[in-house]
């Protein structure tokens, strides 16, 4: 992951920290960001009321509520995929329709605390797993039907970026709206 990804100025609210690039992944930093995500996201949504949680973070985007539930959905999938990669030889993984998941009743209506609590527990386990990996383990991976082979080092960098990316969606919305 690049330390300073190029900002996509045509979509500043879509990529508030720039687009992902795996050019210079930093395992220690990536693990630290993944460890911090539950508290960072919790802080980003602290004290938002239902109207604010049901506000899209950008035109055509999900609501803040849907975004929080998306992060939980996405990170659960990533954690399971990593475990598959560590226990199977380059398994083929199944993608999921994240936009359709975000339209399901739980993502549209459930209080965000359900996903924030889930992320607390999930990330505790995920960080222990990541810190236990050997150099050989980091070279393992899975095959994504759209993105091809993905080594665990790249996956960790992607989810470090994903954590910062979606937290920035909320914090930037709060700044723009004066919340």
Q: What is the pLDDT of residues 93-130, one digit of tens each?
A: 999 999 999 999 999 999 999 999 999 999 999 999 99
pLDDT, average across residues 64-87? 98
Asked if residues 25 and 136 have their Cβ atoms less than 8 Å apart, the reply is no
Query: DSSP label at 15?
Result: -
Instruction: Give dist(CA 138, CA 154) in Å, integer.
Output: 9
Instruction: Give dist(CA 144, CA 154) in Å, integer.
Output: 13
Confirm whether 7 is domain-assigned.
Answer: no
User: Given this model, what pLDDT does residue 15 score?
Assistant: 83
Whether the predicted pLDDT of 9 surpasses 60: no
Confirm whether 11 is domain-assigned.
Answer: no
Whether the predicted pLDDT of 2 surpasses 50: no
Tell me which residue range forms the domain holding 111.
27-177
Confirm whether 4 is domain-assigned.
Answer: no
Confirm whether 21 is domain-assigned.
Answer: no
Asked if residues 57 and 63 have their Cβ atoms less than 8 Å apart, the reply is yes
pTM for the whole thing?
A: 0.90
Confirm whether 129 is domain-assigned.
Answer: yes
Q: For residue 12, name the pLDDT band (cuts at 50, 70, 90).
A: low
Q: State the total domains in the chain.
A: 1
Confirm whether 15 is domain-assigned.
Answer: no
CA neighbor of 26 nearest in space, from 49, 7, 43, 2 = 2
Instruction: Give dist(CA 41, CA 119) in Å, integer.
Output: 9
Percent of the chain predicted with pLDDT > 90:
85
User: Given this model, what pLDDT does residue 178 score?
Assistant: 97
Confirm whether 92 is domain-assigned.
Answer: yes
Confirm whether 14 is domain-assigned.
Answer: no
CATH number for 65: 1.20.120.450
């Amino acid at each position: 992951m690049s330390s300073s990804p190029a900002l996509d100025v045509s979509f500043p609210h879509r990529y508030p920290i720039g687009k992902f690039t795996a050019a210079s992944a930093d395992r220690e930093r990536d693990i630290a960001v993944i460890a911090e995500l539950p508290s960072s996201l919790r802080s980003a949504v602290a004290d938002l009321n239902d109207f604010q949680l049901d506000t899209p973070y950008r035109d055509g985007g999900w609501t803040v509520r849907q975004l929080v539930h998306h992060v939980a959905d996405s990170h659960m999938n990533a954690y399971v995929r990593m475990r598959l990669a560590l226990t199977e030889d380059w398994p083929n993984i199944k993608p999921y329709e994240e936009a359709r998941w975000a339209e399901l009743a739980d993502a549209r209506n459930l209080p965000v605390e359900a996903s924030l609590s889930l992320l607390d527990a999930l990330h505790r386990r995920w960080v222990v797993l990541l810190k236990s990996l050997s150099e050989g383990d980091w070279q393992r991976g899975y095959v994504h039907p759209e993105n091809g082979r993905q080594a665990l080092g790249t996956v960790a960098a992607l989810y470090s970026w994903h954590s910062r990316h979606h937290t920035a969606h909320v914090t930037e919305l709060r700044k723009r709206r004066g919340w």
